[in-house]
Every structure is written in structure tokens, then in C-alpha cells.
Structure 1
């Protein structure tokens, strides 16, 4: 499978700041599988960019920008598939803990009651709980752009009954952790996603491999391309800054496959590859 993806960002830098971008595909690919380009200009002049990699493979591109119009263009072509992500002992511990937007400790009682029947039958079997919880979240929420804010957490989403992909994923992750299943959020390019944007999905550790669930069902899971992975959206934001001030004016994302989109059997376990 060949997948083509990328983004165009236009950012107003109000005061001098350090900008962090997470828009490049993750580093989990063999040599020759990815052809890509990243261009950053400030008022038309090229800006030096340095790359930082996190242990999970995300590639954070850091740049220093003074006031002006920062334009970011990223394009990539991916051929074949990456290796499925495997879990470490540290990740198994880390991704059971509550986090800022997936506060699992607030869901222990709720999850134990809501999923009592499936837990009684299957225990903490992640292979069963991952699709079951994702389907539950998909049935309880309405996908409504603008229904949530950037600081809304899983608890806020459950109470509101609506949100976008990050909200669906936060709630899925929080519930899985509350049920004893290590879970995390992945930022991805998602061919077939409508509306097209940076996409967020949930992953759970099944055995030694991370498998993906998308409660929105907006894109086939086998077409996804990983960008970044973390506890929640605080770790995977496509743009962040430290000091100064920025304002995002334009965000355009594209992601397609070469040929027809694959099907997606939601009962099957799928890894992001």
C-alpha cells in the first residue's frame, strides 16, 4: 500500500517563541519506505529546524521564530507498512496511570458498573475490552465539530455527550485504563477521514502489541499512519510553543491511499502499520 499525506499550516507569531511541530510521520519505518519534505518559512525566509525524537518514535521539529507569518508545509509518501508497535514494561505501567485529559481515576466506579457483564465474562482481556469499549463510546457520543474545547477531558466529554476525535479517544483511553487495560492516544494521518484533519485514535496493549480502536469510525484503521503517541492530546499536539505567543490561522491536511480504501472489520484486532 502507498499512502500520500501532509499538511499546510499558517501561524502568526505574535512574540518571539520556540515552536514545536509534530506533523511528520513517526520514525518506525525502514530506510527507503518514506520520502518526505518539511519546509518552514517566516515571512518568506527559510527557518532552521532541529529534530527531537521521543522514545515512542515521534519526531518533534523545533524552531525559533520571531514575530511574523510562519508557514509550514509537510509532504510525505509512505510505501509498504511499518512494524507494529510493541509494548515495554515501562509503557505497561505508564499507560495505566491517569493523565490530564484521560483521568482514569475518575472512572473506576463508573467503568466497573457499566461494563460489569463483559468484565465478569472476560475479565481484563484487552482483546475483548478494546473493541467493546470503543463501540460503547461510539454509541454514546455524537460527533459535533465545535462541541468541545481544547481543555475538555474525558469526564467533560461523557457529560456533554458530544465531541470530536480527540474527545472520543480520550474517553476510550480513560475507560480502558479504569478497567485495567494499558491505553494511550495516537495522532495519525487518516486516509478516508471526513472531515479531513489530523486524527486521533486510541490504542490498547493486547499481549505485547499495541492495537488501535477508533470510536468515531471515520477512517479504516489499516490505512492510518502514525505521527505521535502519548498519554493524551497534551503529548501529541501538532503544534505547541514555549514562551511568546502564536495564533493558528490556517490548518489544511491531506491523506490518501493509492487505490481504493481498504475495508475495516471492527471485530478484528488491527495495529497501526
Structure 2
């Protein structure tokens, strides 16, 4: 399927600041970039971050004053449906080296604090069946409440409050999975049909030798998602990390699936 993306960010920076942008779609085996355009208007310069492409394309932006960032892309997504049921995770000692870091606790995913609950509640299951049970539990016990969390809210905070937004749902699932010995990471994505439209946060778990997308909030179809970047938690996948001060003036994200007859 072909997905059309339009994103715009308007910010005011009172002084010069370095900004790390992560808003460009990531090319991969299951998503191909057909066309794209990234423009910055205002007093700013862009430079790519080299050597980080596997986890996402990021750019440094040095800016000051009022700036506008516009990103447009057309992406073909060819991701087959995957049933997690029956999938397994290998013994830790057989994991690829690049996967091992996603077993560890991180800033927002304190999996070590949730091990007792995970083993008690999900310990009778393994692999994909365990992940699906975790998602079901989150959906049954959490309320999706915009504004219920802050940029400092961790998975443990969300677990105790039983509410949050997509970021928090993903943090909790990632923490549960890591506590059970399943490598898990966070993914920022463009999601067609997301309400309200915005950047979306989901999870990936390492099962049967590959990363498998999972939306624990069930707000998107994993087969339609366009990955932007991935990392340990929200720290790594922020669409805009500002080393300085900034005020958001406006922000919009529009993502849609194009009908085959409308391809251009």
C-alpha cells in the first residue's frame, strides 16, 4: 500500500540552539520511499547525522528565531500480516549483538521494577503468546487519557496510574517484554487514520529472528505504519530534541493511505 505523509512544525527559538530532528521515514525491507521532501524555512541550517541510519535518519539543525520545518513523503509499505501466536525468542546467549541492549532497563522503561508482576501474571506463557497477553492486559486495565502524563512519566508511573497515551502504552509493553526476557524497543511512526493525527509511538519485539511491530494501544494497523526511528525508549525517538529553549507555535501531521488509482 502507498502512504502519503505531510508534517509541519512551527517553533520559535529565543536564542541559537542545536535541534536533533527525527521526522524522515526510514527505508527498509518492508517500506520503500517513493518520494520525499524536507524543507526548513527561517534562520536554520541542516546537516545529517552519519552512521545512525539503521535505527533512523536524524539531522542536526542549528537554528534561532522563528522556524518552520516541512516534511512530505510517499512511502510504499509492503509489510505482511504477522501472527505473534507461537513465535519464540531464542535464549539470551544466542541473540544477535545488536539486539542485546534492548533487554536492559532504560530511562523510561524500568523493566527491573516490574519483573515480579510480569512473572506472576504472564510467566506461564512464552514468546509471542506472552506479548499478546501483555497487550490484552494493558488494554483491559489502562485508560487512554490525553494529558495524563508528562515528558518525565516512566513506565512504572503509568503502570501505577493505569492511564496514559501511546507513548506510555508503548513504554509499559516494552518494560513487560524486557522483564520477561524478550528484547523490545520503541518506534516512532506515521500512522494512517490516527485520531487525533500526530506522531505515533509503538513497540517492536524480537521474535523468531526479527523485529515485530506491535501497537499496544491498538490505535493503528501495524501493516500500515511507516517507521521513522527506533530506540530504547522515548529518549531516543523524539521527533525533535531541542538543546536549548523553544516554543511550539503550531504542529500538524497528516497521514493517509492512497487508493491504487490515485498513485502518481
Counterpart mapping for 1:84-99 below 5 A: 89-99=96-106
What SS does structure 2 have at the residue aligned with 1:48?
strand
Residue deviations 1:44-85 (CA, integer Å, cap 9, x gap): x5x33111251534011111112x11111000001243799x
C-alpha distance in 2 between matches for 1:259 and 1:173: 34
Q: 27-36 vs 211-220, which deviates more?
A: 27-36
Structure 1: 5+ residue runs without aligned partners? 261-273
| Structural RMSD (CA) | 2.3
2:215 aligned partner: 214
Given that 1:36 and 1:74 are in contact with CA atoms closer than 8 Å, whether structure 2 keeps it comes out as: yes
Counterpart in the other structure of 1:69: 66
- Aligned pairs for 1:238-253 within 5 A: 238-242=239-243, 244-253=244-253
Paired position in structure 1 for 2:84: none
- The two structures have a TM-score, normalised by structure 1, of 0.84
Write the distance in 2 (CA, Å) between the matches of 1:33 and 1:114.
41
Contact 2:142 2:164 (8 Å CA) reproduced: yes
TM-score, reference length from structure 2: 0.87
Cross-structure match for 2:199: 198
* Contact 1:126 1:204 (8 Å CA) reproduced: no
**Alignment deviations for residues 230-260 of structure 1 (CA, whole Å, 9 cap, x no partner):** 0000000000122x31122212111110139
1:169-189 residue CA offsets vs partner (Å, 9 max, x unmatched): 000000110011101110000
Query: Are the equivalent residues in 2 in contact too, given 1:131–1:213 (CA < 8 A)?
Result: no
Shift in alpha-carbon separation, 1:126–1:32, aligned structure 2, 3 A: closer
Structure 2 residue 115 is matched with structure 1 residue 108: yes
Gaps of 5+ in 2: 82-93
CA–CA distance in 2 between the matches of 1:207 and 1:72?
Answer: 39
Number of residue pairs matched? 247
Label 1:32 to 1:148 Cα distance change in 2 as closer, same or farther (>3 A): closer
